[in-house]
C-alpha cells in the first residue's frame, strides 16, 4: 500500500494523514485538556513541522525532476546507441528493442515487439541461433556469435550477436539480452584481407618460379622461331609452329604480369624512353590479340619522350591499359590508339589535373573504339578488385596497379569514356628533360654543371677528394679544405673569390654551422650548403634562420649534389 503512494497523490495523503491523526488523538487523549501554554507550544511545533515538510517536499520534487532527466538521457542513449539492443523471452519473442535495432531490421519499433526473433534470421543460419540460444539458457554463460539477418525488405547482412541471460526477480522468467551489430563492412574487409593474403602468397610463389619459368619459355620461343625459319611458309607445320610461338609469347606476358605483382622492392629508377617501350609492348601485343583489333601508335612529341621510371612498372602500365582496351574490343573488333606527346602544364592547367606541379610532362594515352565504361562504373574502375569481367578474365587489379605505379612516379591518370563511344586513359608522367645516350642508345640523365667557383670543406679527406672530383667533372672550379679554420681564413682573405660554399656539419674546432655564420657575416648572401649525417626538418629550420640555403644528407649521391649545387647557384643569381 505504502508503495503505491506518490507525492502527487494529494487526496490519498490527506486521507492517510487524517486517519493517523485520529489514532494519535486517541493515544494522546482530549486536546481540550491541554493548557493554553502547551497549546501555543504545540501550534509552534506544528508550524515548524509544516515548514520542514514544505522544504522536504521541494527537495523531493527536485530529485524527481533529476530522475526524470536521467531517465530521458538513458532512453536517448539506449535508443540511439550504435548497436541494436534486443530483449527476447525464453521462447524467442522480442519483448523490447531500441530504435537502432528496429532500423537494423528496417522495421517500426512498435511492430517489432511481439515478433519471433528467429523470423529475422536467414534460413541457413537458423540452426546457429537455435544451438547458441540453447547453450545460453543451459549454461547462463555469455555467448557471442555471427549469423546472417534478413531485413524486412529481404536484404541480408552479417551480424554479430552478444547475448546474456537475465532474471529480473525471484520467479520471473529468464530473458535474453542481445547486442546486435552490423558487421557487413568488417566482413568485406576480412574478405579483402583474405584475398590480399592469397594474392601475396601467389606473388611469393610466382616470384620464386618465374625466373626458371621465363628461361623455359625463352627456350620454347627461341626454338620455335628457329624451327619456323627452317620450314616452308604456308605449310601445316609452319602454321602449327606459329601457334606454338603465339602461345609462348602469351605465357611470357602472363609471367611478366605476375612478376610485377609479386615485386616488393622499391622502384629502380632509370631514364626511360616511353616511345621505345610503347613500340615494344605493341609488338608483344600484336601477336597475342585478335587480328580484328588494329593498333595505331601516334607519336606527336618532337623530342624523345623520356621519364625517370622503373622499367618493368612503366611497362606494366602500358600493358595493362592496352590489355583493357583489347578486351573491350574483343567481340566486335576496332582500333586501339596509343598516343605519346610532350606537353607543358602551366599553373592553371596543372591544377586542373589533380594539382600536378607545373612543368613538362610526357602524356601517354590509350584509347579504344569499344563499348566504353558505364557512368556508374567509371568512379570505381581504379578500386582494387573492381571488375565487370568474368572471374577467369579479370581480377580487377589491373587499373589499381596502374594507378599505384603512376602515383609513385609522381604522375596522374585520367579515365574518360562515353557509353558506346570507347574509352580513353591518359597518363601524365614528369618528363626527364636533360638526357644523353650511351653508345648503345641507352638514355642517361644529364647532370647539370657550371663554371662557378666552389669552396668545399670536409674534415674527411676521402669525402673531400670524391666531391671535388664530382664537382670538377661537372665543370666547377673547386677549392677544397679539410680544416674549417683554414677555410674561414681563406674566405676572409678573398671573400669575392667564391660563388658558393659546401661544408660538412661535424668538424673539430669550428663546426659547419658556426663556419656558415662567420662566412655570412663576412659576405652576406653567400650561398652555403651543409652536408650532415643526421637531423631532419628541425635542423633545416634552424639552419634556414642563419641563412644556410640547403641541407644535404649523407651519403650524398652524385646526381643529388649536381642538382642541388645548380639549384642553389641559380636561385642566388636570381636574387642578386
Chain residues that interact with ligand ATP, rule: CB under 6 A: 320, 324-325, 328, 368, 370, 372-373, 377, 381, 386-389, 394-400, 423
Choose the binding region for Mg ion from 340-348, 393-401, 505-513, 534-542 (rule: CB under 5 A). 393-401
Sign of CA dihedral 510, 515, 517, 523: positive
CA dist list (Å): 456 to 76, 149, 467, 528: 72, 74, 8, 10
Q: CA 154, 156, 158 angle in degrees (round to 5)?
A: 160
CA–CA separation, 175 vs 178, rounded Å? 10
Q: Between 391 and 525, name the residue whose CB sits nearer to ligand ATP.
A: 391
Choose among ligand ATP, Mg ion, none what residue 553 binds, the Cβ cut-off being 5 to 8 Å by kind.
none
Q: Between 308 and 321, name the residue whose CB sits nearer to ligand ATP.
A: 321
* Window 172 to 201, contacts with Mg ion (CB under 5 A): none
* Binding of residue 260 to Mg ion (CB under 5 A): no
CB 345 to ligand ATP: min, Å = 24
CA dist list (Å): 107 to 97, 151, 265, 390: 11, 8, 52, 37
Going by C-alpha positions, the residue among 468, 544, 456, 566 that lies closest to residue 502 is 456
CB 204 to ligand ATP: min, Å = 19
Choose among ligand ATP, Mg ion, none what residue 139 binds, the Cβ cut-off being 5 to 8 Å by kind.
none
CB 299 to ligand ATP: min, Å = 21
* Window 313 to 372, contacts with Mg ion (CB under 5 A): 324
Choose the binding region for Mg ion from 73-81, 261-269, 293-301, 396-404 (rule: CB under 5 A). 396-404
Q: Between 273 and 315, name the residue whose CB sits nearer to Mg ion.
A: 315
Q: Between 104 and 325, name the residue whose CB sits nearer to ligand ATP.
A: 325
Closest residue (Cβ) to ligand ATP? 398
Q: Between 98 and 324, name the residue whose CB sits nearer to Mg ion.
A: 324
CB 321 to ligand ATP: min, Å = 8
Going by C-alpha positions, the residue among 528, 494, 536, 497 that lies closest to residue 511 is 528
CB 326 to ligand ATP: min, Å = 9
CA–CA separation, 472 vs 451, rounded Å? 9
CB 354 to Mg ion: min, Å = 22
Choose among Mg ion, ligand ATP, none what residue 328 binds, the Cβ cut-off being 5 to 8 Å by kind.
ligand ATP
Q: Between 142 and 290, name the residue whose CB sits nearer to Mg ion.
A: 290
Choose among ligand ATP, Mg ion, none what residue 387 binds, the Cβ cut-off being 5 to 8 Å by kind.
ligand ATP
Q: CA 434, 438, 442 angle in degrees (round to 5)?
A: 75
Q: Between 381 and 488, name the residue whose CB sits nearer to Mg ion.
A: 381
CB 381 to ligand ATP: min, Å = 4
Q: Between 242 and 396, name the residue whose CB sits nearer to ligand ATP.
A: 396
Tell me which of 398, 422, 430, 527 binds Mg ion, using CB under 5 A: 398
By CB atoms closer than 10 A (0-12, 13-18, 19+), residue 317 is: buried
Task: State the binding string over 281-320 for Mg ion (x if CB under 5 A, else -).
Answer: ----------------------------------------
Q: Is 525 left (phi over 0), alpha (psi -120 to 50) or beta?
A: left
CB 396 to Mg ion: min, Å = 8
Closest residue (Cβ) to Mg ion? 398
Provide CB contacts within 8 A for 145, sequence distance 6+: 128, 132, 160, 161
CA–CA separation, 247 vs 100, rounded Å? 58
Choose among Mg ion, ligand ATP, none what residue 112 binds, the Cβ cut-off being 5 to 8 Å by kind.
none
CB 393 to Mg ion: min, Å = 9
CB 415 to ligand ATP: min, Å = 7
The single residue listed with the C-alpha cell 542513449 is: 77
Q: Between 161 and 326, name the residue whose CB sits nearer to Mg ion.
A: 326
CA–CA separation, 410 vs 399, rounded Å? 16
Q: Between 118 and 337, name the residue whose CB sits nearer to ligand ATP.
A: 337
Provide CB contacts within 8 A for 285, sequence distance 6+: 295, 319, 322, 323, 326
CB 401 to ligand ATP: min, Å = 8
Q: 339 pairs with which residues across the strands?
A: 298, 365
Strand 175-182 relative to strand 84-89, pairing: antiparallel
Provide CB contacts within 8 A for 93, sequence distance 6+: 114, 115, 116, 117
CA dist list (Å): 350 to 344, 358, 360: 9, 5, 10
Sign of CA dihedral 238, 240, 243, 247: negative
Q: Between 162 and 330, name the residue whose CB sits nearer to Mg ion.
A: 330
- Please report, as ranges, the residues that interact with Mg ion according to CB under 5 A: 324, 398
Amino acid at each position: 500500500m505504502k508503495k503505491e503512494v506518490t507525492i502527487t497523490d494529494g487526496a490519498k495523503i490527506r486521507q492517510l494523514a487524517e486517519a493517523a491523526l485520529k489514532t494519535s488523538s486517541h493515544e494522546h487523549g482530549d486536546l481540550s485538556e491541554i493548557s493554553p501554554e502547551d497549546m501555543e507550544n504545540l501550534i509552534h511545533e506544528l508550524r515548524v513541522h509544516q515548514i520542514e515538510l514544505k522544504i522536504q517536499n521541494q527537495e523531493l520534487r527536485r530529485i524527481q525532476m533529476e530522475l526524470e532527466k536521467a531517465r530521458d538521457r538513458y532512453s536517448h542513449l539506449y535508443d540511439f546507441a550504435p548497436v541494436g539492443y534486443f530483449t527476447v523471452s525464453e521462447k524467442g519473442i522480442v519483448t523490447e528493442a531500441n530504435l537502432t535495432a528496429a532500423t537494423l531490421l528496417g522495421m517500426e519499433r512498435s511492430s517489432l515487439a511481439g515478433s519471433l526473433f528467429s523470423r529475422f534470421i536467414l534460413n541457413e543460419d537458423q540452426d546457429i541461433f537455435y544451438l547458441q540460444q540453447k547453450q545460453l539458457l543451459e549454461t547462463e554463460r555469455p555467448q557471442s556469435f555471427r549469423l546472417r539477418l534478413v531485413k524486412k525488405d529481404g536484404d541480408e547482412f552479417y551480424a554479430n550477436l552478444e547475448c546474456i541471460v537475465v532474471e529480473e526477480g525471484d520467479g520471473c522468467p529468464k530473458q535474453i539480452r542481445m547486442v546486435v551489430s552490423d558487421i557487413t563492412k568488417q566482413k568485406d574487409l576480412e574478405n579483402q584481407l583474405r584475398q590480399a593474403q592469397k594474392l601475396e602468397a601467389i606473388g611469393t610463389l610466382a616470384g620464386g618460379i618465374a625466373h626458371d619459368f621465363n628461361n623455359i619459355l625463352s627456350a620454347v620461343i627461341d626454338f620455335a622461331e628457329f624451327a619456323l625459319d627452317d620450314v616452308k611458309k604456308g605449310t601445316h607445320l609452319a602454321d602449327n609452329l606459329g601457334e606454338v610461338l603465339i602461345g609462348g609469347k602469351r605465357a611470357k606476358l602472363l609471367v611478366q604480369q605476375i612478376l610485377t605483382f609479386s615485386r616488393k622492392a622499391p622502384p629502380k629508377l632509370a631514364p626511360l624512353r616511353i616511345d621505345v617501350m610503347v613500340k615494344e609492348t605493341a609488338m608483344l601485343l600484336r601477336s597475342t590479340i585478335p587480328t580484328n583489333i588494329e593498333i595505331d601508335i601516334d607519336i606527336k612529341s618532337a623530342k624523345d619522350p623520356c621519364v625517370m621510371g622503373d622499367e618493368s612498372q612503366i611497362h606494366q602500365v602500358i600493358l595493362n591499359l592496352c590489355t583493357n582496351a583489347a578486351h573491350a574490343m574483343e567481340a566486335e573488333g576496332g582500333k586501339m590508339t596509343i598516343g605519346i606527346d610532350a606537353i607543358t602544364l602551366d599553373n592553371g592547367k596543372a591544377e586542373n589535373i589533380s594539382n600536378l606541379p607545373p612543368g613538362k610532362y610526357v602524356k601517354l594515352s590509350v584509347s579504344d573504339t569499344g563499348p566504353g565504361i558505364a557512368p556508374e562504373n567509371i568512379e570505381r574502375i581504379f578500386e582494387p578488385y573492381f571488375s565487370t569481367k568474368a572471374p577467369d578474365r579479370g581480377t580487377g587489379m589491373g587499373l589499381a596497379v596502374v594507378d599505384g605505379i603512376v602515383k609513385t612516379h609522381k604522375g596522374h591518370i585520367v579515365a574518360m569514356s562515353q557509353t558506346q563511344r570507347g574509352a580513353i586513359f591518359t597518363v601524365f608522367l614528369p618528363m626527364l628533360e636533360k638526357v644523353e645516350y650511351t653508345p648503345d642508345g641507352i638514355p642517361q640523365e644529364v647532370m647539370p654543371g657550371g663554371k662557378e667557383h666552389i669552396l668545399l670543406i670536409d674534415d674527411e679527406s676521402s669525402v673531400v677528394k670524391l666531391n671535388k672530383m664530382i664537382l670538377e667533372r661537372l665543370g666547377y672550379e673547386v677549392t677544397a679544405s679539410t680544416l674549417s679554420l683554414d677555410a674561414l681564413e681563406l674566405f676572409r682573405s678573398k671573400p669575392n673569390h667564391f660563388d658558393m660554399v659546401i661544408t660538412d656539419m661535424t668538424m673539430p674546432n669550428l663546426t659547419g654551422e658556426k663556419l656558415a655564420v662567420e662566412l655570412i657575416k663576412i659576405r652576406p648572401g653567400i650561398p652555403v650548403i651543409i652536408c650532415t649525417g643526421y637531423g631532419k626538418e628541425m635542423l633545416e629550420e634552424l639552419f634556414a634562420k642563419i641563412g644556410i640555403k640547403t641541407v644535404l644528407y649523407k651519403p650524398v649521391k652524385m646526381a643529388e649534389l649536381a642538382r642541388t649545387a645548380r639549384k642553389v647557384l641559380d636561385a642566388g643569381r636570381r636574387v642578386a
